[in-house]
Amino acid sequence: MTTRSWVPVPEHSDFPVQNLPYGIFSRAGEPPRAGVAIGEHVLDLSRLGADAGLPYAEDFAAPSLNPFMARGREAWRAVRARLTELLTDEAHRAAVEPYLVPRDTVTLHLPFEVADYVDFYASEHHASNVGRVFRPTQPPLTPNWKHLPIGYHGRAGTVVVSGTPVVRPCGQRKAPDAEAPGFGPSVRLDIEAEVGFVVGTPSELGRPVSAADFADHVFGVVLVNDWSARDIQAWEYVPLGPFLGKSFATSVSPWVVPLEALGAARVAPPAQDPEPLPYLRTDEPWGLDLAIEVACNGEVVSRPPFRTMYWTAAQMLAHMTVNGASLRTGDFYASGTVSGPEPDQRGSFLELGWNGTEPVKLADGSTRAYLADGDTVTLRATAPGRDGVRIGFGEVSGTVEPARGAAGSAGEAEQQQ
């Protein structure tokens, strides 16, 4: 039998009671605080508080989820169980209903304080496409790729919530045949459709976290758009990796879907050959069947299937800590671009437009090799939830604003380059 909430939930809503994602919201003149999304509403956890027998109520007045995330898995379970009870048992309706706030009246904030941000590169299809585009004469995957989930640290301070405008970055870029680099607005501004994992429970320096302990440490999941300036990145990234080509903005969705809500989305990941080293093996698979949509100005241009990712989030966690690196509450790691095997499943314009050689055609007749000023990119995703109900992630959206204070538009810069 399908569990239902007494709160009205429209059909195909991202937020049935099987989801209950956490976020930070505010209304005019009120401080940011924690809530969960249910249908068209936000349940104000900070005010619902102890009256309704909600444990850890004091954590929810904070302007980030970090205090609650730091409590650990037993606390996450207890609160979710109580919320499910409060929202499904009609007997609680009178007590709880006053704390429901219409979602369209709230402002959503960055839901957690980002400690360290790590970005992986875990899609074989994406890594192979990138290899074919940039290193056509070499094997598409580097020799280490199937032995470890490649990752690097990104800039935590420029992780922003959905809706934050993205200013086109300026920087150095050099055409292959140019003698010296030029400077100006990026002319190859791109997206990366990714899935992000938020750490709640910290770990001790010097003690690796095993893949089996994934669910003890990871609180929840968000959608990520890892904006990328391909021209800046191409010139800077050898030998120490991406830096300014990425660090201007990384957008995340405002609702953190609890890992516990994704039990029904677990699937076996693709077979791994060669078999990874023991610290990367897990008895219980952590593949996740998330169906992502990438829309440009409202038109869906790609549907990347997260279930095709080669490395799982549990393996990423084990790898990230195998050297003894500690975890902090608020650590955040993303999967890298999600691309499936089909051309319409690619998670970046670099791949969709094959580095500008086959620009994406939009319904309005225009084409996109890369993003134009004013473009809005929106990622959405859904997953199987409990009771056969589909749950959603909401969206992560961002609009490109023109470069600031630089002579010439991106279009002119393209010609100069």
For a copy of itself, the closer of residues 171 and 258 by Cβ is 171
For a copy of itself, the closer of residues 72 and 131 by Cβ is 131
Judge contact between 168 and 410, C-beta under 8 A: yes
Minimum Å gap between C-beta 209 and a copy of itself is 12
For a copy of itself, the closer of residues 361 and 404 by Cβ is 404
For a copy of itself, the closer of residues 92 and 155 by Cβ is 155
What residue ranges bind a copy of itself (CB under 8 A)? 115-118, 121, 142, 144, 147-148, 150-158, 160, 167, 169-172, 174, 180-181, 183, 205-208, 229, 232, 235-245, 247-249, 274, 277-279, 319-320, 322-328, 331, 401, 404-405
Q: Which of 41, 125, 126, 217 is catalytic?
A: 126
For a copy of itself, the closer of residues 73 and 328 by Cβ is 328
Minimum Å gap between C-beta 157 and a copy of itself is 5
User: How is residue 320 written in tokens?
Assistant: 């990230």
**Annotated catalytic, 126?**
yes
Judge contact between 415 and 48, C-beta under 8 A: no
Minimum Å gap between C-beta 355 and a copy of itself is 16
For a copy of itself, the closer of residues 291 and 406 by Cβ is 406
Minimum Å gap between C-beta 32 and a copy of itself is 18
For a copy of itself, the closer of residues 180 and 271 by Cβ is 180
Minimum Å gap between C-beta 132 and a copy of itself is 14
Minimum Å gap between C-beta 131 and a copy of itself is 9
Residue partners of 365: CB distance under 8 A and separation at least 6: none
Best CA proximity match to 249, nearest among 184, 193, 328, 168: 168
Best CA proximity match to 170, nearest among 252, 250, 247: 247
Best CA proximity match to 193, nearest among 311, 344, 346: 346
Minimum Å gap between C-beta 97 and a copy of itself is 39
For a copy of itself, the closer of residues 6 and 237 by Cβ is 237
Minimum Å gap between C-beta 141 and a copy of itself is 10
Supply the residues annotated as catalytic: 126
